[in-house]
Amino acid sequence: MIKSKLAKKILAALTSLCLAATAAAPALMSVSAEAVTPEASVVLRADVGSAKPGDTINVDVVVDSDTGVGAMQVFMEYDVDQVTYVSGATASMDGMQFANEETPEDGTINFVGFNMANNVACDNVTIATLVFTVNEGVTDGNVRFALADNSTVATYINDSNDYLITNLRDALVAATDDTTLPFDDVAGGTNPGAPSMYYDQSVQLVYNNGLMTGMNPTEFGAGETLSRAHFATILYRMAGTPSVEGMENPFTDNQDTSTFFHDAVIWCNEVGVITGYYNADGTFSGRFGPSDAISREQLAIMMYRFADNYIGSDSVGFGASLDSFADASSVSSYAVDALSWAVANGIISGRSTVPATIAPTDNASRGDCATMLARYMYVL
């Protein structure tokens, strides 16, 4: 709760900021042909991909801005039936004063930050780490730590607030009764000696959501290449495996009804997630290429279309320049918008090479897919 007179004064002073942000902040999140580039972000980052009753979940609140920050408001929500707040609702950042308010009975935590004099640098700053425990009986679905739409970051220009285009990303943790994966090649699985890798937490999330299984019962196969049919199936599962009765099947290489991907490919085509291959003269080839390896840019395209055509996600209103990647010129013209969206929303961050590359035509590995898919789930 708000305890100090200073905190109350700050919160009162910022009430107008909150109201003004609701009324005056630009309509950033609507889907449009002209994507806007985020100038700031507020991101929630959980330290685990899955959790069982009694487990602790630590959630970092991370703020980033391309310019100096004069004020910020972070309004977070969680389900009190799923988790219990333990501690951490006291934000801090050099040069910023905060009013903090937690209401555990309602599942809300609010941070309102203010600098009375000028803007301060804000480069991926963790302003708070919140601690929760999973309630008894919570073993299904996902625990979502969500940011309210009126969370925003502002900079001061000529003694007034200039609201920055702010990208908000939630945190998601799979609820389960057993967090041990059945695989011996992923940390957190059956082999205590498996090395920690960048995709471990993501595998926990996507496996427990039934989106990805293993190459076999004991091997996830993170380094294996993913096929186009596999990713179509993943998106089909994400949609809940709806019926495809009455839907057109235009692909000559998807006529075998016994394959695992038959219905998935039909559904993905129906909702505009896939289109298949076209000939050089622009005519339809009739092929989907289910066994072909999926490239990183193809994966981004399918996720982008799923978010836009099927979900109607607000996230597709964001885009980012690809110029920071040394190989930006190798991105296919039809994939620019999708990769721009994926970068803007933190789904793809590029290869950690010097200089950085986005590797659009590289085949996507199963580990890459799990990582991108987990980040994708945060923004849908």
**pLDDT higher than threshold 70 for residue 2:** no
CB 2 within 8 A of CB 8: yes
Q: Are strands 71-77 and 152-157 parallel, antiparallel or unpaired?
A: antiparallel
Number of CB atoms found within 10 A of residue 12's CB: 11
Q: Are 250 and 328 part of one and the same domain? A: yes
In a domain, 217, yes or no: yes
pLDDT at 34: 62
Tens of pLDDT, residues 100-153? 999 999 999 999 998 877 899 999 999 999 999 999 999 999 999 999 999 999
In a domain, 114, yes or no: yes
**pLDDT higher than threshold 50 for residue 32:** no
In a domain, 289, yes or no: yes
Q: Are 228 and 298 part of one and the same domain? A: yes
Q: Are 128 and 208 part of one and the same domain? A: no
Q: Are 355 and 215 part of one and the same domain? A: yes
Q: Are 169 and 278 part of one and the same domain? A: no
CB 315 within 8 A of CB 147: no
Cβ within 8 Å of residue 127, ≥6 positions away: 61, 62, 63, 74, 91, 92, 93, 96, 98, 111, 113
**pLDDT higher than threshold 90 for residue 12:** no
Identify the weakest region by mean pLDDT among 21-25, 131-135, 369-373. 21-25
In a domain, 186, yes or no: no
CB 231 within 8 A of CB 369: yes
In a domain, 15, yes or no: no
Identify the weakest region by mean pLDDT among 173-187, 214-228, 340-354. 340-354
Tens of pLDDT, residues 70-105? 999 999 999 999 999 999 999 999 999 999 999 999
In a domain, 324, yes or no: yes
| Residue 269: domain span | 200-379
Q: Are 145 and 273 part of one and the same domain? A: no
Which of 116, 141, 175 finishes a domain? 175
Provide the number of structural domains found in the chain: 2
Q: What is the distance between the alpha carbons of residues 344 and 359, in angstroms, rounded to a whole number?
A: 16
Q: Are 265 and 373 part of one and the same domain? A: yes
Q: What is the distance between the alpha carbons of residues 33 and 169, in angstroms, rounded to a whole number?
A: 22
pLDDT at 211: 97
pTM: 0.89
**pLDDT higher than threshold 50 for residue 49:** yes
Q: Are 355 and 241 part of one and the same domain? A: yes
In a domain, 25, yes or no: no
Q: Are 91 and 164 part of one and the same domain? A: yes
Better pLDDT: 160 or 4? 160
Q: What's the CATH code of the domain at 45?
A: 2.60.40.680
Residue that has been written with the tokens 């630009």 in this structure: 26
Identify the weakest region by mean pLDDT among 8-17, 102-111, 209-218, 351-360. 8-17
In a domain, 292, yes or no: yes
Q: What is the distance between the alpha carbons of residues 58 and 264, in angstroms, rounded to a whole number?
A: 36
Tens of pLDDT, residues 300-349? 999 999 999 999 988 888 999 999 999 999 999 999 999 999 999 999 98
Q: Are 336 and 237 part of one and the same domain? A: yes
Closest C-alpha to 202, from 357, 373, 350, 9: 373
Identify the weakest region by mean pLDDT among 74-88, 110-124, 227-241, 361-375. 110-124
Identify the weakest region by mean pLDDT among 30-39, 219-228, 313-322. 30-39
How much of the chain, in percent, has pLDDT values that exceed 90?
83
Largest CA distance in the chain: 71
pLDDT at 20: 44
Which of 175, 192, 210 finishes a domain? 175
Q: Are 340 and 223 part of one and the same domain? A: yes
Mean pLDDT for the chain overall: 90
Q: Are 276 and 206 part of one and the same domain? A: yes
β-bridge partners, 195: none
β-bridge partners, 75: 110
The burial of 126, by beta-carbon neighbours within 10 Å (0-12 exposed, 13-18 middle, 19 or more buried), is given as middle
Tens of pLDDT, residues 52-70? 999 999 999 999 999 999 9
